Every structure is written in structure tokens, then in C-alpha cells.
């Protein structure tokens, strides 16, 4: 598991919980420390809800080792990347993973919008590159979008679907198109909610209440944007706008302003709402 942020630690958790020996890799040692703390807290929360025992939780943690070096993937059967949502960063990382991982290993990306075909082209094993887009929070959410690039082999797709099912998830195969299905539908809604706030149509609380009580959404779009990360929302919208060429995906100026100010949502403590640890 490459990347120890919100998505990375969640993915590492579900793999270890399903019995996989899991290496969690990040360039920052403090990120790895925080990730282990988060996994521990999530395990304790699940145990309190009756989902597993303390012993099972301890066994899950025992299957996770951390490293600040990509050398940790040298014995991997399956690699999942969850680095920052940037095409250049991910292409560079896939070139490095291609050199470091065994020849038979599958390289999967948790990208929420970037072309799997483009990531695969950065490697010498495009047939073994696939998208595996988990939802946040990973230990709870059932969906995994499985995205097949132009060169992805059928065997790679079958194996990835099998793994997702073994993790207790529901895999859905989609085509390699900007934003796939989840974010191509979700991000315009979040963006329009931000425009409503920016234009004074309603407060964030009012927008979210309308969508929760009127549309049956468990979480309003602005609270969800804070959970995803406003910087991630902006990055996805920029990919959609650039790659599809349609102004309906143009990021709201207020979103750009909040990201520029460092108000990224839950992870920074302030977004459309304020948060405490």
C-alpha cells in the first residue's frame, strides 16, 4: 500500500483485516505513525460495534508493517497506490513501482479521476495496471470502482475483482473515462452546491439540509466535500474540465479560494465547517 493518507490507511486496514500481510509505504515517517494510530482507532470503533474481537483487531495490526522506502514492494503480489491526486506525481510513482515490484505483480491505483491508461503507459507492464477506486471511509463503504485501462488484461481485471470481493467489498467495473462514474456524477453536484453558497443562494448548512432531508442523502454535498478534502475535489474537477472540455465542470471560484487559503476540510480542521480532533 503506497500512500498513508486517509485513503491509504483505510485500504491497508481492509487488506490486513482480510488476512493480507501488508506493507504501508509513505515518504513521511510521521504520516505512517498517524496512519497506524488511525487504523488502531478505527479497529477499536469497529470492535465496540461488534464487528470483530480485540484479538482479531490485534491480528490485523500485526499484519501491517511500515516503510519509507519503495523497496518494501519488492516482494508484493499486489500494489495499491493512493498518493496525492496529481497526474505527474502518479505517473512518476508508477514508473518507480514498475522498477521495484516483482514482474508478476499487479499495480493498482486508487485515483479518483486520472486515466488508468496514462498511468499504465508509464510502465513496462500496462497489461497489469488497473484502477481500484475505494470510497471513504474505506473500512465502512462497500463500493470499489474497478477501472480497466486500454491495455489492462482480462486476467488482471478478474484478479482485482476477486480481491475486492475477498475484502468484503462490492466491485463495479467501469470504463477508463475522466472521473469514471462516481466522481463524474458526484463532483458536479458538489461544485453546484459551492456555487449556491458563493452566490448567496443559501448557507452551507441550508444547502446540506435540503439535500439530506429532501433528497435522502446521508451527508450533504458540502459536508461530503469536507470529508473528501477540498483540494481533492478541486483536483478532480480540474481533470474533468480539462479532459472532457466542458465548462459544466469548471471549478467554482470559491472552491479555489478555500483551497488557496488552506481550508481543505476535515484534514485541515476547517472547510465549509469547522472541525476538532
User: Can you tell me the mean pLDDT for 68-85?
Assistant: 95
Q: Mean pLDDT for the chain?
A: 96
Enter the pTM of the model. 0.90
User: Can you tell me the mean pLDDT for 197-218?
Assistant: 98
Higher pLDDT, 276 or 201: 201
CA nearest neighbour of 1 among 103, 141, 84, 108: 108
DSSP-derived letter for residue 245 is -
User: Can you tell me the mean pLDDT for 60-83?
Assistant: 96
Q: How far is CA 189 from CA 3, 197, 209, 214, 221, in A?
A: 28, 13, 14, 15, 7
Dihedral (C-alpha) 23, 17, 145, 92: value to the nearest 10 degrees? -10
pLDDT at 129: 98
User: Does residue 133 carry a catalytic annotation?
Assistant: yes
Strand partners, 65: 23
List 110, 112, 115, 191, catalytic entry: 112
List 110, 133, 191, 238, catalytic entry: 133
* Cα gap 159→180, rounded to integer Å: 20
List 115, 183, 191, 241, catalytic entry: 183
- Evaluate whether 10 touches 136 at the Cβ level (below 8 Å): yes
User: Can you tell me the mean pLDDT for 70-79?
Assistant: 96
List 113, 145, 191, 238, catalytic entry: 145
User: Does residue 13 carry a catalytic annotation?
Assistant: no
E strand or H helix that includes residue 116: helix 116-121
Residue 23 neighbours by CB under 8 Å, 6+ apart: 1, 64, 65, 66, 67, 72, 73, 76
Q: Is the peptide bond before 137 cis (omega within 30 degrees of 0)?
A: yes
User: Does residue 183 carry a catalytic annotation?
Assistant: yes
Kindly tell me if the per-residue pLDDT of 277 is higher than 80.
no
Interval 11-67: pLDDT, tens: 999 999 999 999 999 999 999 999 999 999 999 998 988 888 889 999 999 999 999
Dig out the grid coordinates for 23 from the structure.
506493507
191 CB neighbour count, 10 Å cutoff: 25
Angle (CA) 92-96-98 rounded to 5° is 115
User: Does residue 9 carry a catalytic annotation?
Assistant: no
Interval 227-271: pLDDT, tens: 999 999 999 999 999 999 999 999 999 999 999 999 999 999 999
- Evaluate whether 114 touches 108 at the Cβ level (below 8 Å): no
* Cα gap 274→127, rounded to integer Å: 44
pLDDT at 122: 97
Residue 205 binned pLDDT confidence (cut-offs 50, 70, 90): very high
Amino acid at each position: 500500500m503506497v500512500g498513508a493518507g486517509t485513503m491509504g490507511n483505510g485500504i491497508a486496514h481492509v487488506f490486513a483485516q482480510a488476512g493480507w500481510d501488508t506493507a504501508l509505504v509513505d515518504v513521511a515517517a510521521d504520516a505512517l505513525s498517524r496512519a497506524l494510530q488511525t487504523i488502531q482507532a478505527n479497529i477499536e470503533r469497529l470492535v465496540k460495534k461488534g464487528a470483530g474481537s480485540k484479538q482479531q483487531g490485534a491480528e490485523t495490526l500485526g499484519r501491517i508493517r511500515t516503510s519509507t522506502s519503495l523497496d518494501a514492494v519488492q516482494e508484493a503480489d499486489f500494489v495499491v497506490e493512493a498518493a496525492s491526486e496529481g497526474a505527474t506525481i502518479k505517473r512518476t510513482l508508477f514508473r518507480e513501482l514498475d522498477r521495484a515490484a516483482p514482474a508478476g505483480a499487479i499495480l493498482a491505483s486508487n485515483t479518483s479521476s486520472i486515466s488508468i491508461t496514462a498511468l499504465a503507459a508509464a510502465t513496462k507492464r500496462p497489461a497489469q495496471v488497473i484502477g481500484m477506486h475505494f470510497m471513504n471511509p474505506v473500512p465502512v463503504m462497500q463500493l470499489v470502482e474497478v477501472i480497466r485501462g486500454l491495455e489492462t488484461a482480462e486476467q488482471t481485471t478478474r484478479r482485482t475483482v476477486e480481491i475486492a470481493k475477498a475484502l468484503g467489498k462490492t466491485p463495479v467495473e467501469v470504463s477508463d473515462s475522466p472521473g469514471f462514474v462516481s466522481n463524474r456524477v458526484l463532483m458536479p453536484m458538489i461544485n453546484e452546491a459551492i456555487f449556491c453558497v458563493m452566490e448567496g443562494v443559501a448557507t452551507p448548512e441550508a444547502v446540506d439540509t435540503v439535500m439530506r432531508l429532501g433528497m435522502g442523502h446521508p451527508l450533504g454535498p458540502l459536508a461530503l466535500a469536507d470529508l473528501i478534502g477540498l483540494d481533492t475535489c478541486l483536483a478532480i474537477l480540474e481533470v474533468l474540465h480539462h479532459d472532457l472540455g466542458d465548462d459544466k465542470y469548471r471549478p467554482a471560484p470559491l472552491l479555489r479560494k478555500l483551497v488557496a487559503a488552506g481550508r481543505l476540510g476535515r484534514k485541515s480542521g476547517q472547510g465549509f465547517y469547522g472541525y476538532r480532533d
